[in-house]
Chain A
Amino acid sequence: GAVVSQHPSRVICKSGTSVKIECRSLDFQATTMFWYRQFPKKSLMLMATSNEGSKATYEQGVEKDKFLINHASLTLSTLTVTSAHPEDSSFYICSAPYLTGHTEAFFGQGTRLTVV
């Protein structure tokens, strides 16, 4: 099946710094990727839709300037958490739909972000 790789799996950063999370589709091209945030024992909350070659589409309530998304190629989307704050500590998951032949989305392994 299609593989989506997310890196890093865990990151600890200091308040005020920025951290970048990468999401790669390893064996297929993804013109669209999704970024989710998941709180402990909660469901996935869609943050934004990343579109290759154009601006990301953010869900209501998600700060565009805090969560910068770049989708520069057909296999890579990045989420940068800027000026990180302890409240940004969470589990972030990316997913990519396989546009032909599959109907489900494939998920990265997730990134545990801890801001200290």
Chain B
Amino acid sequence: AQTVTQSQPEMSVQEAETVTLSCTYDTSENNYYLFWYKQPPSRQMILVIRQEAYKQQNATENRFSVNFQKAAKSFSLKISDSQLGDTAMYFCAFKPEGSYIPTFGRGTSLIVHP
């Protein structure tokens, strides 16, 4: 069974600064996908970024980037130039290739202060 661990229940950052959210996972699978989802106060789950395990290059989406360390089973999310709209719960998720069901971490509540 896979497990996803987010060790930071809450984080805060000043607007325009950079923050990193941590995520580790445990699996015996070799091919899988990792995701970061954002859940703002509206509760709508929004995909932030996706990483394929077979790709060595870290995924980047505008101000969001990941540090994927496959050997260490680590998948952290870096948010640069934080904006007030980034305030949300962030969930790390793991999905083996061939499965449709992701495993979610417990989430990290991020507050961006003006």
Contact = CB atoms under 8 A, between A and B. Distances in A.
A91 B41 CA distance: 13
Main secondary structure of the interface of A (DSSP, over half): strand
Nearest to A49: B101
Interface residues of B, number: 20
Contacts of A97: 100
B106 A34 contact: no
11 contacts: A44-B104, A46-B101, A91-B43, A97-B100, A103-B33, A103-B95, A104-B33, A104-B95, A105-B102, A109-B43, A109-B44
A107 B44 contact: yes
Interface residues of A, number: 21
A42 B100 contact: no
A103 B50 contact: yes
B47 A44 contact: no
Q: 5 smallest A-B Cβ distances: which pairs?
A: A107-B45, A97-B100, A110-B43, A43-B106, A103-B33
A104 to B, nearest CB: 5
Nearest to B9: A41
A43 B101 contact: no
Interface string B73-114: 000000000000000010100010000111011110100000
Interface of B: 33, 35, 42-45, 47, 50, 52, 89, 91, 95, 100-102, 104-107, 109
Interface of A: 32, 34, 38, 41-44, 46, 49, 91, 93, 95, 97, 99, 103-105, 107, 109-110, 112
Nearest to B10: A41
A54 B12 CA distance: 45
Given A93-B45, A109-B44, A32 B100 contact: yes
A105 B109 CA distance: 21
Nearest to B50: A104
A46 B96 CA distance: 16
A41 B106 CA distance: 9
Given A97-B100, A104-B47, 13 more contacts: A38-B43, A41-B109, A43-B91, A43-B107, A44-B45, A44-B91, A93-B43, A103-B50, A103-B52, A103-B95, A104-B35, A107-B44, A110-B44
